[in-house]
Amino acid sequence: QENHKGRDDSRFLDQFLPCSSSLSLPGPPGHFLIGNMMELKHDHLPIHLTNLAQRYGSIYRLKCGTTTMVVLNSSEVIREALVKKWCDFAGRPISYTGNIVSGGGCNISLGDYTEKWKAQHRLVHSSLQRCCKKSLHDVIERQALHLLKVLMGYKGCAVDLSEDFTVAASNVITTLAFGIEYDKSSSELQELHRCLNEIVALWGSAWISALDSFPLLRKLPNPVFAHLLKEVVRRDEIIGRHLNNYKQSQDKKNQDVITGSLLQGLDNQNTEDKALLTDIHVHMATVDLLIGGTETTAAWLNWMVAFLLHRPEVQELVYEELCTVLEGRYPKYSDRHRLPVLCSLISEVLRLRPVAPLAVPHRAIRDSSIAGYFIPKNTVIIPNLFGAHHDPEVWPDPYSFKPERFLNEGGGSGGGSTRDLIPFGGGARLCLGESVAKMELFLFSAYLLRDFQFLLPESETSLPDLRGVASVVLKIKSYEVVARPRPVTNP
């Protein structure tokens, strides 16, 4: 068994020598017609790919029809591809169905690395920065306080909190994007989520991916595909309505929300960018933010509470720290440096359950190499973040929930290998919402753990199942919990 760790010299020489194509990547044997397609049909793909790494090393290949995929399973090889050689691997695979859900490749997350994509990324990044600087902290604080109120209303009954977490995360994004906060019972909010979730789920289904691998199937009737098309139309109706409202309104305040700022940015495009971006890019970027920003944060909050039920003493340590440091007040994001125990909890949950466990597939846009192996143009790269976070060479006892691994000997921040914690990917395709997400995870968890103790319901005999259900987002199976209010502290 050979893995990249014994190949440091060849990687060093890599900089000076052309890559040797004679080194063929290891990987499981495949069927002569469909290759390793069945390997990708596993019910928990991140775990399966991580298990294959034990056999084939931290970089191996899978064949899927005519497509070669290279799976990266350690932070070292992932950083080499995504960060060090970002300009070789910044592309996205182009697919028939991907084009349909992304308005013809006009979104950020599935769009290929082209001049248009770069202009769109610049525009969305600067609008997001501007709006976040102005209002992100206040928006999250308001949603966190609202979430506390909702939990208080349950009066200690056993409940599944996943919908409340989704509404809180979603409201942060809809407030930033449209200046709109929804109520849990809002029919538009429910419709938007139902529709976005359906699109993500249907797009991941075998009925749809078969259309990418076997083009002839596109000629046959396919009710799942028809359903997907219908949901895409519905999504575009809802987002289109909001964008039209902004276009028709002359209110200057609209520039404070992302969609207003994006539309304004379109008008101000410099000559270089002119004709590159149109309304469809603003429309699809809004979809990106809504999809990227809702299920991820909500899934993470569900994981955090579940892990704490497994180790209640960690919850007590976080609570004690919050009481001592904050002396009764609610935290600000700037308090994070004084709350190492809470931060260690956040890092450990991100390590064990990176909510986008396989990131989004990348594509080599030119011939390159990783760990000394030749990687031809158009190879699909799968960064297995879940695998990298369970690498026993980096993380002792990798499958155990141990936030203390991120604390130093004095109990402060700085323990563990934070450099190898890569839940947001890296390089040109680094998660666009990383700073939004980090502030949300910190403030939501601090508010929740300051005011509530999370307990397993008395009627429940087993703790939440921590294996999870893996799709594009790694979610926990639904479970119930009791949120018992902590004694009132006077700020």
Question: Each residue of 138-164: b (16+ CB within 10 Å) or e?
Answer: ebbbbbbebbbebbeebeeebbebbeb
Interface residue with ligand HEM, options 260, 331, 387, 433 (CB under 6 A): 433
* Min CB(327)–ligand HEM separation in Å: 29
219 and 113 in contact (C-beta within 8 Å)? Answer: no
Nearer Cβ to ligand HEM (288/456): 288
44 and 468 in contact (C-beta within 8 Å)? Answer: yes
* Min CB(89)–ligand HEM separation in Å: 9
Nearer Cβ to ligand HEM (101/355): 355
Q: Which stretch binds ligand HEM (CB under 6 A): 33-41, 180-188, 285-293, 451-459?
A: 285-293
Residue 298 interacting with ligand HEM (CB under 6 A): no
Nearer Cβ to ligand HEM (184/438): 438
Q: Of 87-126, which residues contact ligand HEM (CB under 6 A)? A: 108-109
Interface residue with ligand HEM, options 151, 341, 364, 432 (CB under 6 A): 432
Closest among 233, 240, 172, 163 to 198, alpha carbons compared: 233
Q: Of 347-376, which residues contact ligand HEM (CB under 6 A)? A: 354-356, 359-360
The Cα 382–Cα 368 span in angstroms is 15
How many CA atoms does the CB half-sphere of 113 hold within 13 Å? 18
Residue appearing with tokens 């359950």:
353
Nearer Cβ to ligand HEM (360/455): 360
Residue 282 interacting with ligand HEM (CB under 6 A): no
How many CA atoms does the CB half-sphere of 329 hold within 13 Å? 6
Residue appearing with tokens 């797009």:
203
Q: Which residue is nearest to ligand HEM (CB)?
A: 433
Alpha helices in 85-158 (DSSP H): 96-101, 115-153
Output the CA torsion 72→74→75→79 (10° steps): -30
Residue 296 interacting with ligand HEM (CB under 6 A): yes
Nearer Cβ to ligand HEM (128/456): 128
* Min CB(274)–ligand HEM separation in Å: 23
Q: Which stretch binds ligand HEM (CB under 6 A): 41-49, 50-58, 273-281, 417-425?
A: 417-425
* Min CB(258)–ligand HEM separation in Å: 9
Query: φ, ψ for residue 282 (rounded to 5)?
Result: -70, -45
Q: Of 153-192, which residues contact ligand HEM (CB under 6 A)? A: 173
Residue appearing with tokens 């990708």:
40
Q: Is 463 left (phi over 0), alpha (psi -120 to 50) or beta?
A: beta
The Cα 181–Cα 303 span in angstroms is 25
Residue 431 marked as a ligand binder: yes
304 and 345 in contact (C-beta within 8 Å)? Answer: yes
Nearer Cβ to ligand HEM (408/418): 418
Judged by CB under 6 A, the number of residues near ligand HEM is 26
Q: Which residues are annotated as a binding site for heme?
A: 431
Interface residues toward ligand HEM, by CB under 6 A: 82, 108-109, 173, 288-289, 292-293, 296-297, 300, 354-356, 359-360, 383, 423-425, 429, 431-433, 436-437
